[in-house]
Amino acid sequence: MHLDKVITALMRRWLPLAILLVGLGAFFYFDLSQFLNFSTLQQHRQTLLSWTEAHYFQAAFIYIIIYILAVAISIPGAIFLTLVGGFLFGTIFGTLYVLISATLGATLIFLAVRIALEPWVAKKTSRWIKKMRTGFKQGAFQYLLFLRLVPLFPFWVINIVPALLGVKASTFMLATFIGIIPGSIVYVTLGNGLGSIFDRNETPNLGIIFELPVLLPLLGLAFLSLVPIIYQWKKRKSST
């Protein structure tokens, strides 16, 4: 009976993460990346647009589910799917669907990693681990917002690391939703113009977010998100 409880506890702890890892393996095994490219999208553009117009709610639901799963299993296709959102649903609703999908998908992998690995990390007695966990948790929202706004950190890394540092799920979700708004708007807007790009037989500039007119405002917002932390740090320093 004791062994059964141990096995059940281990399954509850590791099963969510195992399912996501199997999904990631299946993605590469079946070479599903072949469907996440602009040549395939251009080839089937009219069919997709016509079906979306005729079955809008079904199309939006399917899109959101695919996006959630893509982010949850951490496949390298989120930017492409973001552009597809703008292409199929326009800038406003495309951005809304991306924000909902990316936040929910990120939360799934966040929770799976936290359930499986966070208890193990919490037991570590290394001083630097405890110090990092404490420091990050004290300003979790601001730190996460900064990491989401700066387009230099891989999305999947920011989904996993906070889970190991004891961040609350509600804090993670809110910071993720708000932090990805600017970047999502940039790529959804670019996706909304894919039709004219395809007509010119060109490919979209995925590096647009690193161009100075776009990057500098993002960096400005990112550093503004750290102002409360800097203020608290200076306040503590002046009181000592």
* Residues 36, 42, 48: CA angle, nearest 5 degrees: 85
Residue for token pair 């420091």: 135
How is the chain split among helix, strand and coil, in percent rounded to 5? 85, 0, 15
For residue 101, name the pLDDT band (cuts at 50, 70, 90): very high
Most confident of 38-42, 129-133, 230-234: 38-42
Give pLDDT, residue 100. 98
Domain ranges of the chain: 2-239
Measured CA to CA, the distance from residue 237 to residue 225 in angstroms comes to 20
Distances (CA, A) of 104 to 64, 73, 203: 10, 12, 29
Mean pLDDT of all residues in 16-43:
93
Structure confidence at residue 82 as a pLDDT band (50, 70, 90): very high
Does residue 115 contact residue 191 with C-beta atoms inside 8 Å? no
Give every CB contact of residue 198 below 8 A, 6+ residues apart in sequence. 38, 42, 45
Least confidently predicted of 1-5, 18-22, 139-143, 180-184: 1-5
CB neighbour list of residue 118: distance below 8 Å, 6 or more residues apart: 163, 164, 166
* Contact assessment for residue 215 and residue 209, using Cβ atoms and an 8 Å cutoff: yes
pLDDT at 215 over 60: yes
The token pair at 74 is 């951490």
Tell me the whole-structure pTM to 2 decimals: 0.91
Query: What CA–CA distances, in Å, run from 42 to 45, 52, 66, 198?
Result: 5, 15, 19, 7
Residue 48, pLDDT score: 96
For residue 240, the model assigns a pLDDT of 61
Closest C-alpha to 201, from 42, 84, 49, 48: 42
103/77 Cα distance (integer angstroms):
15
Write out the two tokens for 151: 């387009």
Q: Is the confidence at residue 146, as pLDDT, over 60?
A: yes
